[in-house]
A = this chain, B = another copy of it.
Amino acid sequence: MNTSSAPLPPGDKVPRTERGRKTLRKLLDAAALEFGERGFHDASITGITRRAGVALGTFYTYFDSKDEVFHALVQDLSALVRDAARKALDPEREAIATEEAALAGFLRFAREHKEIYRIIDESEFVDPESFRAHYETTARRIHERLKRGAARGELRPDVSEAHAWAIMGMNVFLGLRFAVWNEDLPTDDVAGIASDLLARGLKAED
């Protein structure tokens, strides 16, 4: 299910052979399923190894603990989300259209990977450092884009970190509502509404 090949850092237990790398990959993919489906608390190592088709003990060849897989997983998935969003970008595009494209890409991704969404959300409680890092990095990236837009004269010159967090929150909640919980509106429509909000605000036409 997960095809990222980014080298995961599971402490000192890095696999040394091809077989090892494959097993590690199987475990991570199984963990994504297990955690995504049952949540951290209800997930069990047994469930992970069963899904991965390996014995219970094998798990401890690659991870020191339940918390550690979760951490590795968040790193892995966080990178996936980043890539998905980045793929939707085009530096030529105008600033607000860029945000629209990023959101549209994010929504499409979220629909395909609802588990990922849940896991990153849950990292707030299981692995707070990663959670914080994930959102701070994301916000920083948005802020960069906004500043670039301002420099080009497309956006107001006072775009700030708060604006970036506002946009990110918007995106996350729109994703929750229109990708994870319900798909009653096309992703492009949702992204369109959001970008229109960024462009013109909500005021009635004068």
What is the interface of chain A, defined by CB distance below 8 A to chain B? 39-41, 95-96, 118, 121-122, 124-126, 132, 135, 139, 146, 149-150, 153-157, 159-160, 162-163, 165-174, 176-178, 181, 185, 190, 193-194, 197-205
Contact = CB atoms under 8 A, between A and B. Distances in A.
Given A125-B125, A202-B156, A203-B199, A170 B174 contact: no
Stoichiometry (number of copies)? 2
B197 A201 contact: yes
A178 B202 CA distance: 24
Contact of A203 (B118, B167, B200): B200
Contact of A174 (B40, B156, B162): B162
**Chain A interface, >50% SS class:** helix
Contact of A166 (B153, B170, B185): B170
Given A168-B173, A170-B173, 17 more contacts: A41-B126, A96-B202, A96-B203, A118-B125, A132-B181, A150-B204, A155-B204, A156-B205, A160-B193, A162-B193, A165-B173, A165-B178, A170-B170, A172-B173, A197-B198, A198-B201, A200-B201
